Amino acid sequence: MGKQFLEITEKEKVEKIIADFSVKLATQIAVEAEKVKIGEALGRIASADIFSLLSIPPFDRSTMDGYAVVASDTFYADENNPSALIIKGYIPAGEFPSQYVEKGYCMGISTGAPLPKGVNAVVKVENTSEYRDSVEGEREGGKIKKVKIYKPVAPAENIMLAGSDIKRGEQIVRNGTTLTPRETGVLAACGINEVSVRKKPIVAIISTGNEIIAPGEDLKPGKIYDVNAQALSDSVRESGCTPLFLGIASDNIEEMTGKIEETLKEGADVIIASGGTSAGVGDLLPKAIEEHGEIIVHGVDIKPGKPFIFGMLHEKPVFGLPGNPTSALITFNLFVAPLLRTISGIHLQNYEEGESRKTKRKKAKAGLRIFSERGRNEYVLVNLVPVKTPGEGEEPFLAYPILSGSGAITTLSKADGYIFMEKGKEIIEEGEMVEVELLASRF
């Protein structure tokens, strides 16, 4: 248990190293695609441009219940002098008419039904009345069905032309688009029931520590339940990736190295280990990484989160987060989530520019004086309390720091976000405006 020192890297430098690497990794992962049924496609990301193989609508369609006519037959119609047309029959939606309609004739038609040949407009049923014409009927040996048209229609009125919505060959979804109900609806319209989406990156999660046991097991003396496996798995899900929990490793180098080799066998794209990263007995992760890979960052100038590790192992990024759940969550949010969002592509769903890879922010007023440790970049977890009746232009939230021990788990569940106090900023006065970076699911 000798003294060891971490070589501290600046936060901005760490962010840049990881961001540069994210882009490279995203390019590799973006090409890996899988097919899913359209019923399971919601929220997935299209892995290619999608084009329609059909025109929509596939035929000229009536947009009204009424009569399909030759428009010129109606041009001089009004309430007093209606046009009278002979009805050749009725076209319900879903049936394709075989008749040809010449001038002086028409066909009854339902909304959505295909137009017969010869017509070029539809008169709404409200502007018509049917009757039996016995005069004409006598000539033709009985009563015949006719309709009076009280209002003229222009050519193409109440018709949706074939292909006017989507043309065959038209691009309907762009590569990289997150599929919402609108996109899945358009795919359905084009008859597409399977879609190629980006593979969700697999993120292996390892918890380390002799004292850690899984929830559900018996709590023996000296042991505590593993918080990070659950909190990190769910954070990984929120970042658009699939977590793969590989269990708890004891503090010994063989077990740690074994777990890490397992992640590679399981096809993990990213590895996250938590615990065992401080400069004490638990300093095994760096050794395990160095056996087959390289440590790029070991220690960053922030509090909490100083013993953060970033390394590479067979070209896969490996993150070492502190065991303390709050520190693990903050370093996850700062350094891991941006990479996961980039490689999973979910940042593309924010159409607001510049928001893509960053966390969401909210302005608030400090509800109390907030102190930070001298000479440290510090993250202060806060909860946001809405002010009941905000005045004109007044900010609606107060930010209160969450005061608790460094290992506190309740800190986690109370926090809405955190305030960054840069080195040199040691006091935030009560009432001072602050920017709160929101934790992912508090958006």
Quick check: 415 and 380 in contact, CB under 8 A? no
Q: Alpha carbon of 141 to those of 84, 85, 90, 136, 144: distances in Å?
A: 19, 18, 21, 9, 9
CB of 153 to its own copies, least distance (A): 16
Quick check: 146 and 130 in contact, CB under 8 A? yes
CB of 293 to its own copies, least distance (A): 25
CB of 49 to its own copies, least distance (A): 14
The smaller minimum CB distance to its own copies, of residues 179 and 313, is found at 179
Q: Tell me the backbone φ, ψ of residue 339, rounded to 5 degrees.
A: -65, -45
The smaller minimum CB distance to its own copies, of residues 110 and 196, is found at 110
CB of 162 to its own copies, least distance (A): 11
The smaller minimum CB distance to its own copies, of residues 313 and 362, is found at 362
Count the Cβ atoms, other than its own, within 10 Å of residue 381: 25
CB of 35 to its own copies, least distance (A): 13
- CA pair distance 398, 431, nearest whole angstrom: 8
The smaller minimum CB distance to its own copies, of residues 14 and 46, is found at 46
CB of 278 to its own copies, least distance (A): 6
- CA pair distance 213, 219, nearest whole angstrom: 8
Q: Tell me the backbone φ, ψ of residue 326, rounded to 5 degrees.
A: -65, -45
The smaller minimum CB distance to its own copies, of residues 293 and 304, is found at 304
The smaller minimum CB distance to its own copies, of residues 242 and 312, is found at 242
The smaller minimum CB distance to its own copies, of residues 96 and 139, is found at 96
Segment 24-31 long-range contacts (CB within 8 Å, at least 24 positions apart):
25/269, 25/317, 25/339, 25/342, 25/343, 26/342, 26/343, 26/345, 29/198, 29/199, 29/201, 29/269, 29/343, 30/176, 30/198, 30/345
CA angle 234, 239, 243 (to 5 degrees): 50
Give me the half-sphere count of Cα atoms (radius 13 Å) on the Cβ side of residue 169: 0
What percent helix, strand, coil does the chain show, rounded to 5? Answer: 25, 30, 45
Q: Tell me the backbone φ, ψ of residue 257, rounded to 5 degrees.
A: -65, -40
The smaller minimum CB distance to its own copies, of residues 59 and 76, is found at 59
CB of 131 to its own copies, least distance (A): 12
The smaller minimum CB distance to its own copies, of residues 235 and 313, is found at 235
Q: Which residues pair with 66 in a beta bridge?
A: 109, 124
The smaller minimum CB distance to its own copies, of residues 31 and 96, is found at 96
CB of 320 to its own copies, least distance (A): 15
Count the Cβ atoms, other than its own, within 10 Å of residue 48: 14
Quick check: 316 and 270 in contact, CB under 8 A? yes
CB of 126 to its own copies, least distance (A): 6
CB of 261 to its own copies, least distance (A): 23
